[in-house]
Amino acid sequence: METLGELVLLVILIIVCFSARGCSQAQPQGPQVPCFFIFGDSLVDNGNNNGMLTLSRANYRPYGIDFPQGTTGRFTNGRTFVDALAQLMGFPSYIPPYSRARGPELLRGVNYASGAAGIRDETGDNLGAHTSMNGQVANFANTVLQMRRLFRGDTNALTSYLSKCIFYCGLGSNDYLNNYFMPNFYTTSSDFTAKAYAASLIQDYTRQLTQLHSLGARKVIVTAVGPIGCIPYQLARYHSNATRCNENINKAIVLFNTELRKVVDRFNGGQLQGAKFVYLDSYKSSTDLYQNGTANGFEVIDKGCCGVGRNNAQITCLPLQQPCTDRRKYLFWDAFHPTDQANIMFAQASYGSPSYTYPINIQGLASL
């Protein structure tokens, strides 16, 4: 026997489906999970920073040049990683940003990601306003309150609903790029050794992920920090005969990633009741794509498609700048972010393959 909350939900979902543009293009079986919630930084931000006073914004051309909806605030030419992942999971339309998600559409999920955001609150302050992971968790708590009203106060039905959803958490990149390795603006590199800094980040992140669990998250993807030492922004600034990449940064990141995988083991081992966490090794997937660029169809792996100066990365993509013509041949769109083509490859590799996910792939997580 359905509860009142579940019956109300069914009616709302039917209304959302018929009012959503793209519903008719859904896969026959529909989405594999009822909703998808996203927490992160500019790698997955889809417009939350548009109204903020910040340098970390992408709501201008040529960003979105290959995206059906044009310029939206995504930091790439087309789809982000989570856009591609949502498509693989069968969602008929993209998950809306928190800045404009309202009413019944909250039931499909929300994207809270904010460019320049980090695990630490001060991370990214050098670029201006943003919503840190603490702020994003607080915004999700607000969403849960709104969803409770949609469920007519039926907490059990809401808890059951959220337990079936996928949560994606991709934080940490800016805690290194726009904090620890920016000593002119932040003191963290003198306050912490690289190992102590990783431990501090993990402590904060563990608390934040535990808060998400207390709010209803059960199926969670946590992403490793990628090899930031190899992005065009760093290649333009770093000169070494031994390696193309800045291995000082990469070594510090590996310390964080190693501990993050242990957190997943602890959560899955009973520390969080009913939790099913997946560790997404984006460090390995990015490194593999970088080292085997040509085999994957990428002719340019060390320059942004759009940018200024050495590696097209000393200054990132400027408003109305003319980007490269064949974006499919570039691994990076700008000084920091992958192209649409790279994001699709990353998503496909993590969704159905066990190569970059632990202990199961994302498709397996969705089916649990």
Q: Residue 367 catalytic?
A: no
Cα separation, 64 vs 340, whole angstroms: 9
Whole-Å CA distances, 251 to 191, 230, 248, 258: 18, 12, 5, 11
**125: DSSP letter:** G
Residue 28 has, within 13 A of its CA and on its CB side, a CA count of 0
3-state secondary structure of 95: coil
Catalytic residue from among 125, 154, 204, 337: 337
Q: Cβ neighbours of residue 103 under 8 Å, at least 6 residues apart?
A: 150
* 334 annotated active-site: yes
Residue of 83, 281, 334, 340 marked active site: 334
Is residue 42 part of the annotated active site? The answer reads: yes
- Write the DSSP string, 168-204: EEE--HHHIIIIIT-TTT--HHHHS-HHHHHHHHHHH
- The counts of H helices and E strands in the chain are 12, 9
- The DSSP string of 314-357 is SEEPPTT----S-GGGEEESSSS-B-HHHHHHHHHHHHH-SSSE
State the catalytic residue, choosing from 42, 99, 282, 350.
42
Total residue count of the chain as it appears in this document: 368
Active site residues: 42, 334, 337
